[in-house]
Every structure is written in structure tokens, then in C-alpha cells.
Copies of this chain bind each other. A is one copy, B any other.
Amino acid sequence: MRLSTKGRYAVTAMLDLALNSGRGPVTLADISVNQGISLSYLEQLFAALRAKQLVRGIRGPGGGYYLGKGADEISIADIICAVDEWVEFTRCGGRENCRGGERCLTHSLWDQLSDEIFTFLSEISLADLVERGQRQQRQGERVERHPMTAGKQRAA
């Protein structure tokens, strides 16, 4: 599993889309301004998202993008895999070069972890995130954050 800023941009943009597509198609120009991502880079990301049918483009004036399916049918893993090529890591390919057995075990452990992360992200849909965010906002305050990330924000 690969999770980089590229994937973050894609997820953020898809969230923006999920939140705003109620009022007609959303233009990339809007997302660009809202999320601080260059238009051209968004175009590249959306080309990949479109190839996986995660978004649907409407051309011409008044056009823009809709989600390609329901927000409950799109998982975070779908989005990340669309823009961040999934890289298979182990060099031994599951059998060759793995005479020692131990070496192979290490690799299979990594595979296992990688699968678990993928499963985890597969089980979170765009709709889940939006719903949880709205519930959180209704309660009027942010959920408590992890010490690690919270520390960096609260400092200074």
C-alpha cells in the first residue's frame, strides 16, 4: 500500500465533490480554489479517477464532475489505488529467491500487513467519512486528536 500526498489530494478532492455535488456538477476550478491544488494537477488526478469510473465528467459550460457512483460505493482504497499505482513490494514474488524460509517469512509478514491496511481502507467509504464529519459538527466540537498530530497543531 502506498499513501502519499498525491493520494491525499485525491481523497480531499473527492470529499469536496461528495460534499458539493448536490447543487449540480462541481468544476475543477472550484476544487482548485477550495483545496489549494493547481488546476492542471487536478486534471491529471481526475483523469485517473475517471478511468476507474470514480467520477463522471460533464463537458461544456455549466459542466464539471459528479461522483461516478454513490458515495457509499466508493472506498478510500479505491481512490488511493486509482491515483497511486499499487506497487507489489516483495522481490521474491512469493517463491523464487526464498530458499531460507526465514526471508520468505519476513516478506509474507509484510504482505499480510499490507493487505490489512488495504482492507481497512476498503471498509471506509466516502459516505462514512461525510456522515461522521457531519455528526461531529452537529456536536459542535472536534473529536480529540492523537497526541502526535495534536501536539504539532497546538504548539505555538
Which A residues are within 8 Å of any B CB, using their own CB? Answer: 1-5, 8, 11-12, 15-16, 19-20, 34-36, 76, 81, 86-89, 91, 93-94, 100, 102-103, 105-121, 124, 129-130, 132-133, 136-137, 142-143, 145-146, 148-149, 152-153
The oligomer's copy count stands at: 2
Please report the C-alpha to C-alpha distance between residue A48 and residue B20 in the assembled complex, in whole angstroms.
Answer: 42
Chain A interface mostly: helix
Q: Give the residues in chain B near A136, CB-CB below 8 Å.
A: 108, 112
Per a CB cutoff under 8 Å, which of B1, B87, B110, B124 touches A113? B124
Contacts of A89 in B (CB 8 A): 5, 8
Chain B contacts for A88, CB-based, 8 A: 149, 152-153
Across-interface contacts of A145 in B (CB, < 8 A): 111, 115
Within the complex, what minimum Cβ distance (angstroms) separates A28 from chain B? 15
- Given contacts A3-B1, A106-B16, whether A36 and B91 have CB atoms under 8 Å apart is yes
